[in-house]
Structure 1
Amino acid sequence: MMTDPQPAFVLVRPQMGENIGAAARAMLNFGLARMRLVDPRDGWPNPRAVAMASGAAGRVLDHAGVFPTTAEAVADCDYVFATTARGRDLTKPIFTPEEAMTRTRDMLAEGRKVAVLFGPERAGLENDDIARANAIISVPVNPEFASLNLAQAVLLTAYEWRRQTVPAVPEALSLAGTEMASQIEIEKLGDHYEERLEEAGFFFPPVKAEGMKLNLRNLWSRMPLTRADVQTLHGILRQIVRHRDGKP
């Protein structure tokens, strides 16, 4: 199991084994493995949860702690979040999942233990559960349909945890077995097109020819071309010229 500091995700009175298994999968997807269960309706262990966890996520269930009450599940924690759209009659700070997981990361770095409560599928956390939390996590969902599935709520929170702890690459280019084209390769591609376009009378009128060539060069330099792309563009132009000249 993972030994790095991370929050405990506490499923309070979960009703369906399938949702427990789906929550375990969502947790492991984003590097979380500390699950706690409070009084699961159908007892524990639950074969439907194991079937839904499917493979590696089963280890999250294998190490899940089971507690009779919410108070006992969070007794060793220094700070507790409750995920809910309710509890507005209780005075507590309310955070988005992103801000909550940022604070969680900082508290864990200080050696504090953090838990996140998730309520049962039908009605969510009761006020007695929420009263034991220090703060509320509220997802900015459609107010006309605010209900989230248990596994969805776990996934959203786990995703924000992962975002706060693993630097994300804002943009990446997946190369399918090739490399990016070098500057000289792009330069030769530009030469090839400029030569053929010159033959075709594209650069007209003459007074605008230099500006048109400059714009074309700039176009090539802006494009993130791979070597395969360059070869394809050369091949397209050669085929057009052959067709123009009546060659097969």
Structure 2
Amino acid sequence: MVVLDGVTPPAGHTGCLHSVPWFTARLGGALAELTVSCPDLTLPEALSRAIVRTAAAHAATCDLSHPRTPQATVVLARWSSRTVEYLVLSDSVLLVEAPDGAVTAVLDDRLARLPRAALTTDALVDSRLRNKEGGFFTAAADASVAARAVTGTLPRERVRALTALTDGAARWTEKFHQGDWAALFGLVREEGAGALVARVRALERADREARAFLGRGKTHDDATVVFTEL
């Protein structure tokens, strides 16, 4: 399972000739290949190699040192007959369901732990906090961020299903407080990924003017949901 959420930069110079969709397509393709064709690589090693490969594809034409160079959040999961490996980088979410129905959220919560006052402008986030010590990390051009990801390995028999969410879909729990992670997982299992996205969109439209829920800077955000039953 490979889920990426491209980071849309604020208007202005990014140092790159390429779009965020171009970057995520390259990075996602590399990850899909490396995690399958190189099973001996750990997920952080696969992410590191995928970042290096993607950076090499446009290093000659673009300034990859620019803080707004194309980048993405990452959720990876890979399973065999014996184990389930996972990796989460930045504010996307992986939910793990055990055979007894218990749901555990795997979170990289560095962005959520930053003081709200530090997140008032995109420029401030990019220049002082993004991919910096004391801030938070996304997959961009520096392969060393792979070591910053939240990772782990579980016995296969302890995992019944997985759900990966970009932060736009996770709003149902994190911003709108419609239910906990277990309730969200149950909604996806029972009604499908599309039902969760539809409910998030309805909540966003209802809150468009009031902005009742603090911490949501834009009405809509990219919402992707992937459900996998092992």
TM-score (norm 1): 0.23
Answer 1 or 2: which has greater helix percent.
1
Answer 1 or 2: which has greater strand percent.
2
TM-score (norm 2): 0.25
Q: Based on CA coordinates, which of the two structures has the bigger radius of gyration?
A: 1
